[in-house]
Structure 1
């Protein structure tokens, strides 16, 4: 059973005869008769009663007609939407929490300046979740913190920012330098477990056999900064996020001897994906934001 059979059947029902349906569809009348006969053989039911050279739709034919109209209408909608896709283009972009707060907004603004008719849909989650959405083709591209270890993902570095250790202004470590062993058993405020900042810290702690007391974990950078300024513990965050609070004196920076943490950001997409023109433009704006479009 094909869409052609259904459309012929609908035409016969609408015109009242196979001859009229053939004229409407610009096909030979025997082709219409043959298609209806195939349908009746396929379903094992008569869809028309033939009385005095006239066609009368049967009850099962009425059921078939109702479904046939729905299927034909859905097919026509699909055809129109796909054929007119260029008039409603969408770019699905994912981002980690950190990148969405810093790098991403400017890149999207620049992209929309070049492509004002394109809708950019942004999804913000932690890096591990975003990676999986890219692999599953639920996102076209994404900007996340690295390193990227998934072999199914292609990546290009777009930037890096240093991380800083912060504490309440009244803390004994404020403005000073400590040994990494001093972090043992201190109250630490961290990002959620799958975030890149959390991974970097856990790697640092494991390598140096440091155990801290995680008293607060959050996906919100602001919540972490507020918790530190309230005296609930210390933290390590991207310097970009801490700048304003440091200038205002709400938090203070301290250094850990011999420790320099850096968070790298990457744009990613499926490894074997052939990027279309829109995706290539977005990639260019992220990797080389000062290079004009050709």
Structure 2
């Protein structure tokens, strides 16, 4: 089993298609098919389930994917160590959607200017999935609503966010969840930490949430509140960036639901040169006047 074969396997797993993986790797599909078949033959297992036009990871493929990601992380760390501890190689950071939209662009630009040799990649997911990515080795670090108590992870706080509840314009005061009882709730998937905060807000008032409508972006969430009423929990910095924000009312929440802290988290024992440089740059940038 060669690292080059694992790179092909990883690309096909992420793209779900040999043709798409070939475009991504600037290679011909037949070459990828051959190398993938050779890998499966050498391991004696099928790594993918062929379903119509898409390839799905088999049980064995999911196991190999976890190990492959950890191997690539170790490879990047080894390369950085051999280059005198200078940041280099791949560095994958995960982020919540709102953080990626508001805070991450400046962070990425700062890091890229300082360390252009690093291949910086970003994945946006709900907090629960980001934690899985860290523990499984798919991510080197992640910006998460924290702190989260995991024996496998370390972290540090970076900045605070104010959370507000948005309703259709002219809704009237919202002092507690009782004031929006029965209304539709627009939110992300169950593993989103902000969704869990919203559920806790309703539970604190002993009010059942209305119909839950899962949305994949804050832009769509805002549009749904404007068009059909209902409520959503949004970071105030994210709301300030959205076109159409003047068409909703933002309601301040009472503590402890009004504020949250975004943490940078990583696997214990994996504070390599790339991550150390990220921490130093971002702490310096956030502390600057």
CA distance in 2, matches of 1:256, 1:90: 40
Unaligned runs of 5+ in 2: 1-74
Q: 2:104 — aligned with what?
A: 104
1:163, 1:260 within 8 Å by CA — same for their partners in 2?
yes
Structure with higher Rg: it is: 1
Shift of residue 136, structure 1, vs aligned partner: 1.6
Check if 1:90 corresponds to 2:90: yes
TM-score, normalization by structure 1: 0.63
SS at match of 2:285: coil
Match of 1:237 among 222, 234, 237: 234
Q: 1:223 — aligned with what?
A: 220
Q: 1:128 — aligned with what?
A: 128
Q: 1:38 — aligned with what?
A: none
Tell me: CA distance 1:117–1:97, structure 2 relative to 1, closer, same or farther (3 Å).
Answer: same
2:90, 2:120 within 8 Å by CA — same for their partners in 1?
yes
Check if 1:208 corresponds to 2:222: no
Q: 2:34 — aligned with what?
A: none
TM-score, normalization by structure 2: 0.64
Q: 1:148 — aligned with what?
A: 148
1:99, 1:145 within 8 Å by CA — same for their partners in 2?
no
SS at match of 1:249: helix
Unaligned runs of 5+ in 1: 1-78
CA distance in 1, matches of 2:218, 2:207: 23
Check if 1:159 corresponds to 2:159: yes
Tell me: CA distance 1:96–1:257, structure 2 relative to 1, closer, same or farther (3 Å).
Answer: closer
Within 5 Å, give how 1:36-47 maps onto structure 2.
Answer: none
Check if 1:198 corresponds to 2:195: yes
Q: 1:115 — aligned with what?
A: 115
Q: 1:249 — aligned with what?
A: 246
Q: 1:279 — aligned with what?
A: 275
CA distance in 2, matches of 1:267, 1:217: 26
Deviates more, 1:82-91 or 1:141-150: 82-91
Deviations 1:245-280 (A, max 9, x none): 59852211234567742122111111232x222221
Shift of residue 219, structure 1, vs aligned partner: 2.6
Tell me: CA distance 1:187–1:269, structure 2 relative to 1, closer, same or farther (3 Å).
Answer: same
Q: 1:13 — aligned with what?
A: none
Q: 1:288 — aligned with what?
A: 284
Tell me: CA distance 1:264–1:189, structure 2 relative to 1, closer, same or farther (3 Å).
Answer: same
Check if 1:178 corresponds to 2:178: no
1:200, 1:261 within 8 Å by CA — same for their partners in 2?
no
In angstroms, what is the RMSD of aligned CA positions? Answer: 2.8
CA distance in 1, matches of 2:250, 2:277: 39
Shift of residue 105, structure 1, vs aligned partner: 1.5
CA distance in 2, matches of 1:257, 1:279: 35
SS at match of 2:211: strand
CA distance in 2, matches of 1:257, 1:268: 27
Deviates more, 1:247-256 or 1:91-100: 247-256
Deviations 1:131-190 (A, max 9, x none): 11111222111112223121211010011111111111143x2xx343432232222222
Shift of residue 218, structure 1, vs aligned partner: 1.3
Give the aligned length. Answer: 208
CA distance in 2, matches of 1:232, 1:101: 24
Shift of residue 128, structure 1, vs aligned partner: 0.9
1:246, 1:253 within 8 Å by CA — same for their partners in 2?
no
